[in-house]
Each structure stands twice: as structure tokens, then as C-alpha cells.
Amino acid sequence: MNKQVAALTARMILEAGAVKYSAGQPFFLSSGWASPVYIDCGSLISFPRIRESLMDLAAQTVLARAGFEQFDTVAGVEASGIAYSAWIAERLSLPLLYVRRKPLGFGREAAIEGALAPGRRVLLVDDVTTDGRTKMARVRSLRAIDARADHVLVMFFFDVFPETMQLLSELGISLHYLASWKHVLAAARASGYFDRAAADDVQRFLEAPARWSLEHGGIGTFPR
């Protein structure tokens, strides 16, 4: 993890107002977890300077970690990852496609929109991952049509569920990300984005996310 990249990413996320905190009513994430905070990375696309800087950092990060000639195409996750995947594909000079949430039509390519020859090395791109299960499902969809999908790039990774990295590793998936909650919370404390009570509440969630979620109406165990 590049500390400078993480700090810059956290600053951009906060400057865009993409971190939402709710003291009374928790957010329910698509993965089923209840959380006192929510990262709206989708809103970053409306800030051109932040967007351009973030995409430069993302491209540099994945090239540094994975290599410069390791991919044949970029795939976005429908719909949250499509914009980010398009910008990353442009920077890496690679073809683009996206992976559907649900297959459409018939045949082996029903799960994707775009052209993908068997054996192509795919970089899967999305905005955020919480527990990683959505990304694992999209990787399986790509592998089912004989793509080599071993790398996932996201702008923000929760990094609070220890099972996530274990399961990704078991599937042979390398996760690349720019910042996690550790970095954003540190920046939020330092900048005053969160007052002390809010920051402490977020810290309690990060230290025991399953317990916090269960106590607030969300799932309390990591689904497999």
C-alpha cells in the first residue's frame, strides 16, 4: 500500500463530500451489512479534477503492482464500475467491456457486453468493495467464458472483514485499491470532517463490523 496514494485518495473522497455518516439510522450496504458510514464513490465522477487525479493514481497503482503488459482488456462491473473502467481502459490503451449483474440473452457471452475472446487477460474494475463477494461473482462470470480474470481494481476497499482477503486468495484473485477505511477515517479526524463522537462511532464499527451490523439490523456473519 502506497501511503501517499492512500492519503491523496482519502483527501479527494472527503473533499467531494462522498463520506456519509448517520448517527441514528444505519446505512444498509448492498452486501447486507449495516454500517454507520457510507462511501459514495459514484459521486466522484462529478468532480473533474478529482476524477482525473484519481484515475491517474489508479492506473499507476495497478501497473506498479501487476505489471505493464499483464492485461488484454478492462471489464467494468455493471453499473457502478462502467465509468471507472472506461477511464482506466483509456489510460491503459486497452479494449473495454462490462460484466452484467444478471445474464441477458443466451450463450456464453450473456454475462458480458462487449467482445471477449477466450484466454484474454482481464482487469475487473469497480468503484468500491465491501466484503468482496460481488467481485468474486463477477470474476466467476468471466472465468466461465474462459477469460483469465485474476486481478480486481477498486478505488476504495473497506478492509474490515478478514475473510475477504482469504477468499480472494483462495480464488487466485489479486485485489488492488487506493485507500481503505483506515486512511479515510484518519483523514476525517485530522481535517475535522468527523467530530470526535462520529469518528469514535465509526471506529467501533471498523473494529467489530459484524457485531455492529447485527446490533443495528444487518447481517452478522460473513456469508460464503
DSSP E strand stretches across the chain: 19-21, 27-28, 34-35, 37-39, 73-77, 96-99, 112-113, 121-129, 148-157, 174-180
Question: pLDDT band at 8, cuts 50/70/90?
Answer: very high
* Beta-bridge mates of residue 28: 34
| Single pTM value for the model | 0.95
- Sign of the C-alpha dihedral computed for residues 206, 54, 77 and 138 taken in this order: negative
Which residue do the cell numbers 463530500 mark?
A: 17
Which residue do the cell numbers 489510460 mark?
A: 91
Mean pLDDT of the region 194-200:
95
Question: pLDDT band at 104, cuts 50/70/90?
Answer: confident
The CATH number of domain 3-215 is 3.10.310.10: no
Preceding peptide of 79 cis, ω within 30°: yes
8 Å CB contact between 176 and 147 = no
Q: Which three cell numbers stand for residue 20?
A: 456519509
8 Å CB contact between 11 and 57 = no
Whole-angstrom CA distances from 170 to 3, 120, 177, 180 are 27, 21, 19, 21
Strand, helix or coil at 69?
Answer: coil
Write phi, then psi, for 4 (nearest 5 degrees): -70, -40
Taking the domains of the chain in order of start, what are their residue ranges? 3-215
**pLDDT at position 222, please?**
77
Question: pLDDT band at 41, cuts 50/70/90?
Answer: very high
